Amino acid sequence: MYDELERVIVDCTLPPGAVLNDSDLAAQFGVSRTPVRDTLHLLESSGLVERGRSTGWVVTPIRMRDIDELAELRALLEPAGLPRIVQWDNERLERLGSLFDNFPGSMLRADTEQYLARDDEFHRTLIAATENSRLERMYHVADRQLARCKRYVTFQDDARRAASLEEHRAVCRCLMNRDPDGARSALLEHLERAHDALAAAIKASLT
């Protein structure tokens, strides 16, 4: 149950602000309300649901403060593995550097989920490259929130998908050239643009 609810929240099938009724969920999954409530508490601890004012639970809205804090966290953590990556052997480095090679410049919406899965893999690889288990655990706490934010804006904006693809390719080119400083600059530029696109989407939804 947890995995299924997490999936539909992260992929925005249940959008930010959607009301979650424990009785309805219990009927949907064919269980009592107790395991549903346990699942909702776990999702609350991961920041994906929260208690509503007039309803029991809602999918956590994406707020400006949240995206600012997530962007700051990413900028601090994700560049940490770059110096190690540029020391990888050629085969391993080429495998990472080619992650985005097969996507068309004008990406169709049908390609989006595959692209976002590759996007998730790429950023997790940057973190895993640190070989720091504590840093990985810290990042994991925010990972599903990050994935939901990316899907919230990327599914809606064709131009942002294309720009994001080119930004990832720029990071990969620097890594393939074993240029950690260039990769860091390209990565931070990508993270800043991703933040700005999401912030614009959030502001637009409030008007």
Q: Which DSSP string do the residues of 144-192 spell out, in sequence order?
A: HHHHHHHHHHHTT-HHHHHHHHHHHHHHHHHHHTT-HHHHHHHHHHHHH
Is the torsion defined by CA of 199, 202, 206, 207 positive or negative?
A: positive
Select from 171, 160, 155 the least CA-distant residue to 123: 171
Q: State residue 156's pLDDT score.
A: 63
Quick one: pLDDT at residue 178?
97
Question: ∠ at Cα 94 (91, 97), nearest 5°?
Answer: 155
pTM > 0.85: no
Mean pLDDT of 164-175: 96
Q: Specify the pLDDT at position 154.
A: 62
Predicted confidence (pLDDT) per residue in 21-80, tens digit: 888 888 888 888 888 889 999 999 888 999 887 768 999 988 889 889 999 999 999 999
Q: Could you give all domains of the chain from N- to C-terminal order, each with its CATH number?
A: 2-59 (1.10.10.10), 64-206 (1.20.120.530)
DSSP conformational letter for 55: S
On the CB side of 44, how many CA atoms lie within 13 Å of its CA? 13
